[in-house]
A and B are shown apart, each in its own frame.
Chain A
Amino acid sequence: MPRLSLTGLFLLFSVLACGGPASVSERSVLPGFEAGQLAHKRLLLAPYPSSAVNEERAIPLSAAEVRTLAATFPDSDAELSALKAFYFSGESSARQAAERANPDLTVVHIDAPRWHDYFENSEDFLNVTVDGKIHYQIPQRALLQRLDRDADFAIVIGGLAYSAEIMTMKSDTTYSQRRTASCDANFLIWDYQANRALAEGTVNSSTGFGKEVTSKEYQELGAEVITEIMTKRPFR
Chain B
Amino acid sequence: MRDAPQALRVTVDRVGKTFIAHIELRNNRADLIGERTLSVRGERCQAIEPYLSLAVALMIDPEADLGEPPERAEEPKAEAPSPGSEPPAAVSKEAAPSEPAAPLAPVAARVSGRGRRVVYVYPALSASSETRRRSSVALSQLTQRLFGQRLLEREIYTVVQPPPLFESALQAENFRRDAPDRAPPKAFTAPNVLAPGADYVLQPIIDSLTVQDGLDYSRGSQLPLVTVTLRMSLAGIDYVRHEELEALDVTETVSVEGNRHDARAAGFAVRLAAGKAVESLVIALRRQAAFRIRPRSEPESAGAVLGSLRGVETGDRFQFEDESGARSGWAVVREVEGNRAKLRVWKSGSGERLVDVGKQPPGTFEVSLRRVQRLGYGEASDAERARALASFRSTRALGSVSEYGLDWRFYLEPMDGSGLRSFADSNFNVLKSDGNLAFGIATQLGVGYELPALPAVGLSLLPFAAIGPMLIEGKLGKSEAQNAPLENLLGLTASVGAHLELYRLFGAVSLSASAQFEYVLPLYSETPREQYLDDRYPSLHAFVLQLGGVFRASDYPD
A117: shortest Cβ distance to chain B, in Å?
Answer: 15
Q: List 26 A-B contacts (CB under 8 A).
A: A122-B210, A122-B211, A123-B210, A123-B212, A123-B213, A123-B260, A126-B212, A126-B213, A126-B214, A126-B215, A127-B212, A127-B214, A127-B227, A127-B255, A128-B215, A128-B216, A129-B214, A130-B217, A130-B218, A131-B218, A132-B18, A132-B39, A132-B218, A135-B227, A196-B222, A197-B215
A131/B212 in contact, CB under 8 A = no
Within 8 Å of chain A (Cβ to Cβ): is B253?
Answer: yes
| Size category, A interface | 10 to 19
B214: shortest Cβ distance to chain A, in Å?
Answer: 4
A131/B41 in contact, CB under 8 A = yes
Which residues of chain A come closer than 8 Å to B488, judged between CB atoms?
none
Q: When chains A and B are docked, how far (Å) is the Cα of A196 from the Cα of B216?
A: 11
Q: When chains A and B are docked, how far (Å) is the Cα of A194 from the Cα of B261?
A: 22
Query: Which of B214, B225, B255, B260 has the most C-beta atoms of chain A within 10 angstroms of its own C-beta?
Result: B214
- CB nearest neighbor in B for A130: B217
Within 8 Å of chain A (Cβ to Cβ): is B400?
Answer: no
* 0/1 interface trace, chain B 5-35, chain A, CB 8 Å (1 if under): 0000000000001100000000000000000
Within 8 Å of chain B (Cβ to Cβ): is A146?
Answer: no
* 0/1 interface trace, chain A 94-136, chain B, CB 8 Å (1 if under): 0000000000000000000000000000110111111111010
Within 8 Å of chain A (Cβ to Cβ): is B128?
Answer: no
A129/B215 in contact, CB under 8 A = yes
Which residues of chain A come closer than 8 Å to B260, judged between CB atoms?
123
Q: When chains A and B are docked, how far (Å) is the Cα of A197 from the Cα of B217?
A: 9
Query: Which of A126, A129, A133 has the most C-beta atoms of chain B within 10 angstroms of its own C-beta?
Result: A129
Extra contacts, 17 of them, besides A130-B218, A131-B218 (Cβ < 8 A), are A122-B210, A123-B213, A123-B260, A127-B212, A127-B213, A127-B225, A127-B253, A127-B255, A128-B215, A129-B215, A129-B217, A129-B218, A131-B41, A132-B18, A132-B216, A132-B218, A197-B215
B212/A133 in contact, CB under 8 A = no
Contacts A122-B210, A123-B212, A196-B222 given; does A133 touch B217 at CB 8 Å: no
- CB nearest neighbor in B for A135: B253
Instruction: Write the residues of chain B forming the contact surface with A, with a CB cutoff of 8 angstroms.
Output: 17-18, 39-41, 210-218, 222, 225, 227, 229, 253, 255, 260
Which residues of chain B come closer than 8 Å to A122, judged between CB atoms?
210-212
Q: When chains A and B are docked, how far (Å) is the Cα of A129 from the Cα of B229?
A: 13
Q: When chains A and B are docked, how far (Å) is the Cα of A213 from the Cα of B17?
A: 38
Q: When chains A and B are docked, how far (Å) is the Cα of A133 from the Cα of B251?
A: 12
B218/A128 in contact, CB under 8 A = no
Which residues of chain A come closer than 8 Å to B216, judged between CB atoms?
128-129, 132
Which residues of chain A come closer than 8 Å to B253, judged between CB atoms?
127, 135
Which residues of chain B come closer than 8 Å to A129, judged between CB atoms?
214-218
B20: shortest Cβ distance to chain A, in Å?
Answer: 11
Instruction: Write the residues of chain A forming the contact surface with B, with a CB cutoff of 8 angstroms.
Output: 122-123, 125-133, 135, 196-197
- CB nearest neighbor in A for B217: A130
- CB nearest neighbor in B for A196: B222
Which residues of chain B come closer than 8 Å to A123, judged between CB atoms?
210-213, 260
Q: When chains A and B are docked, how far (Å) is the Cα of A54 from the Cα of B210?
A: 19
Checking B39, B210, B214 against A128 with a beta-carbon cut-off of 8 angstroms, the contacting residue is B214
B33: shortest Cβ distance to chain A, in Å?
Answer: 28
- CB nearest neighbor in A for B209: A122
Which residues of chain B come closer than 8 Å to A130, judged between CB atoms?
217-218
Query: Which of B211, B212, B216, B225 has the most C-beta atoms of chain A within 10 angstroms of its own C-beta?
Result: B212
- CB nearest neighbor in A for B18: A132
Query: Which of B39, B211, B216 has the most C-beta atoms of chain A within 10 angstroms of its own C-beta?
Result: B216
Q: When chains A and B are docked, how far (Å) is the Cα of A127 from the Cα of B273?
A: 15
Q: When chains A and B are docked, how far (Å) is the Cα of A130 from the Cα of B218?
A: 5
Checking B40, B211, B222, B229 against A135 with a beta-carbon cut-off of 8 angstroms, the contacting residue is B229
Q: When chains A and B are docked, how far (Å) is the Cα of A196 from the Cα of B217?
A: 10
Which residues of chain A come closer than 8 Å to B17, judged between CB atoms?
131-132
A125/B212 in contact, CB under 8 A = yes
- CB nearest neighbor in A for B231: A51
10 nearest CB pairs, A to B: A132-B41, A127-B214, A122-B210, A127-B227, A132-B218, A127-B212, A130-B217, A128-B215, A129-B216, A126-B213
- CB nearest neighbor in B for A131: B218
Q: When chains A and B are docked, how far (Å) is the Cα of A127 from the Cα of B230?
A: 13
Which residues of chain A come closer than 8 Å to B18, judged between CB atoms?
132
Which residues of chain A come closer than 8 Å to B41, judged between CB atoms?
131-133
Query: Which of A127, A129, A130, A135 has the most C-beta atoms of chain B within 10 angstroms of its own C-beta?
Result: A127
Q: When chains A and B are docked, how far (Å) is the Cα of A131 from the Cα of B40?
A: 10
Which residues of chain B come closer than 8 Å to A131, judged between CB atoms?
17, 41, 217-218
B478: shortest Cβ distance to chain A, in Å?
Answer: 13
Which residues of chain A come closer than 8 Å to B40, judged between CB atoms?
132
Q: When chains A and B are docked, how far (Å) is the Cα of A132 from the Cα of B16?
A: 11
Q: When chains A and B are docked, how far (Å) is the Cα of A123 from the Cα of B218?
A: 22
Q: When chains A and B are docked, how far (Å) is the Cα of A123 from the Cα of B222?
A: 19
Which residues of chain B come closer than 8 Å to A125, judged between CB atoms?
212
A144: shortest Cβ distance to chain B, in Å?
Answer: 16
Q: When chains A and B are docked, how far (Å) is the Cα of A75 from the Cα of B364?
A: 59
Q: When chains A and B are docked, how far (Å) is the Cα of A82 from the Cα of B358?
A: 43
B96: shortest Cβ distance to chain A, in Å?
Answer: 15
Which residues of chain A come closer than 8 Å to B229, judged between CB atoms?
127, 135
- CB nearest neighbor in A for B214: A127
- CB nearest neighbor in A for B212: A127
- CB nearest neighbor in A for B251: A51
A135: shortest Cβ distance to chain B, in Å?
Answer: 6
- CB nearest neighbor in A for B42: A132
B97: shortest Cβ distance to chain A, in Å?
Answer: 13
Which residues of chain B come closer than 8 Å to A196, judged between CB atoms?
222
Q: When chains A and B are docked, how far (Å) is the Cα of A72 from the Cα of B114?
A: 60
Q: When chains A and B are docked, how far (Å) is the Cα of A206 from the Cα of B40?
A: 34
Which residues of chain B come closer than 8 Å to A128, judged between CB atoms?
214-217
Q: When chains A and B are docked, how far (Å) is the Cα of A98 from the Cα of B474?
A: 41
Q: When chains A and B are docked, how far (Å) is the Cα of A135 from the Cα of B210?
A: 13
Q: When chains A and B are docked, how far (Å) is the Cα of A131 from the Cα of B18?
A: 8
Query: Which of B39, B211, B215, B225 has the most C-beta atoms of chain A within 10 angstroms of its own C-beta?
Result: B215
Which residues of chain B come closer than 8 Å to A135, judged between CB atoms?
227, 229, 253
Which residues of chain B come closer than 8 Å to A132, judged between CB atoms?
17-18, 39-41, 216, 218
Q: When chains A and B are docked, how far (Å) is the Cα of A122 from the Cα of B226?
A: 13
B14: shortest Cβ distance to chain A, in Å?
Answer: 12
Which residues of chain A come closer than 8 Å to B215, judged between CB atoms?
126-129, 197
B552: shortest Cβ distance to chain A, in Å?
Answer: 36
Q: When chains A and B are docked, how far (Å) is the Cα of A123 from the Cα of B225?
A: 13
B348: shortest Cβ distance to chain A, in Å?
Answer: 38
- CB nearest neighbor in B for A132: B41
Which residues of chain A come closer than 8 Å to B217, judged between CB atoms?
128-131, 197
Q: When chains A and B are docked, how far (Å) is the Cα of A126 from the Cα of B18?
A: 20
Q: When chains A and B are docked, how far (Å) is the Cα of A209 from the Cα of B149?
A: 53
- CB nearest neighbor in B for A120: B130
Q: When chains A and B are docked, how far (Å) is the Cα of A113 from the Cα of B329?
A: 62
- CB nearest neighbor in B for A200: B217
